[in-house]
Amino acid sequence: MGRIKVGLVGIGNCASSLVQGTIYYGSRTEEVPGLITQNFAGYTPKDFEFTAAFDVDRRKVGKDLSAAIFEKPNCTQIFQPEIPHLGCEVKMGYRLDSIADHTTHYPLDRRFDALDDIYKSRDAAKKAIVGILRGAGVEVLVNYLPVGSEEAAFFYAECALEAHCAFVNAIPVFVSKKWGDKFREAGLPILGDDIKSQVGATIVHRVLTKLFEDRGQKIRRTYQLNVGGNQDFLNMLDRSRLESKKISKTKSVTSQMSVEPDPENIYVGPSDYVPWLNDNKLCFIRIEGEQYGGVPMHLELRLSVEDSPNSAGVITDAIRAAKVALDRKLSGPILEAACYLFKSPVQQVDDYTAKQMLMEMASGTSADSADNNGRKNLPEADILAKKGKF
């Protein structure tokens, strides 16, 4: 198999963990824990080649990606300190709505230090960024912008379309749902929306709600409260940036429930910013159920996890799935991978079915996969029906 030429938008904690992990896994010959799939249709993490990167922070723009991932305000754990020079200079991106105004009141080491836009207009910015993507031969563009970057997310999706790149939307903006047809018409894959962590707040909550229902217990009330100290949590102190995030996390949990609680009885979402936590996220889950005879019971759980490495293994599969989709000439939302890897795919399915779909996609090694025949122009529901999934 060949290399996968990857572009990154936003060189924050998640990008840092991904780049570190590419070196960490690529330098090992034995199977190392931390990945859902070691080999995805012939591709491994060592096949990643980062050829383009964008940011707006003065501490990162102009530096090689190998150095930029360790610059402030990044605060995730460093598990691979030695990164070779990657020959990928971080270019100036287009700011739009990617940074919340209130962050300027916080210490510089904790917030973005944004450069002024260098582009005279949106069209000029798009022309420049598309040119960089084409010149770098980017095949898969990953959107790692901060939560709440609605306008910026669609801007970079538009750049991916014009540069003819697959697009992986890691953030809770509904690009795949709203623009899936645009990518299908362009003959390009899109994966999204909102990356799941391997064992994070949403997947744990989702599995527990399914467990309650499978065991015959009705859920009366539930909450999921999250606190952390990274830039996303700082950005999300502006509650207006949380709408898509709350919808994405809530729907991912309630999609596994046959009867949803009243909206007043469910809360799923970020709660506060605690600087000294850095990239560690604390999650508190409570589920109140009704057991035999109407007798009440409840479950409480506390989860502590380093946020960015927790999602890096999942994005590693998403990037490889996007490349496989390109190889097989699949287009539009790639549900075979998105249903298991993202919180808000175009179509929600149960986790067992979603895992089967992902493993089937990962097991093939050629562009002549049996599922490829006629698949790329099917609507999402028909894709699953064709697979016998519902």
In whole angstroms, give the CA distance from residue 219 to residue 360.
33
Given a contact cutoff of 8 angstroms between Cβ atoms, the answer to whether 90 and 61 are in contact is yes
- Rg of the chain, C-alpha, whole Å: 20
| Distance in angstroms (rounded) separating the CA atoms of residues 314 and 172 | 15
- Residues in CB range of 35: below 8 A, 6 or more apart: 25, 45, 313, 316, 317
Q: How far is CA 292 from CA 52, 79, 215, 264, in A?
A: 57, 48, 11, 24
pLDDT of residue 142: 98
At 258 the pLDDT is 83
Numbered ranges of CATH 3.40.50.720 in the chain: 4-197+309-372
Q: Please state, in angstroms and rounded to a whole number, the distance separating the CA atoms of residues 230 and 103.
A: 12
Region(s) of the chain under CATH 3.30.360.10:
201-307
pLDDT in tens, the chain (390 residues): 789 999 999 999 999 999 999 999 988 877 788 899 999 999 999 999 999 999 999 999 999 999 999 999 999 999 999 999 999 999 999 999 999 999 999 999 999 999 999 999 999 999 999 999 999 999 999 999 999 999 999 999 999 999 999 999 999 999 999 999 999 999 999 999 999 999 999 999 999 999 999 999 999 999 999 999 999 999 999 988 877 777 888 888 888 788 888 889 999 988 899 999 999 999 999 999 999 999 999 999 999 999 999 999 999 999 999 999 999 999 999 999 999 999 999 999 999 999 999 999 999 743 444 344 335 434 444 545 444 443
For every residue of 205-226, DSSP letters joined together read HHHHHHHHHHTT-EEEEEEEEE
pLDDT at residue 27 in the model:
82
Report which of 164, 349, 201 is spatially closest to residue 280, judged by C-alpha positions: 201
- Contact (Cβ atoms closer than 8 angstroms) between residue 337 and residue 317: yes
Per-residue confidence (pLDDT) for residue 302, from 0 to 100:
98
| Confidence (pLDDT) at 169 | 98
Name the CATH code of domain 4-197+309-372 (choices 3.20.20.70, 3.40.50.720, 3.40.50.300, 2.30.40.10).
Answer: 3.40.50.720
Residues 172 and 69: their CA atoms lie apart, in Å, by 22
Asked if CATH classification 3.30.360.10 holds for the domain at 201-307, the reply, yes or no, is yes
Enter the pTM of the model: 0.91
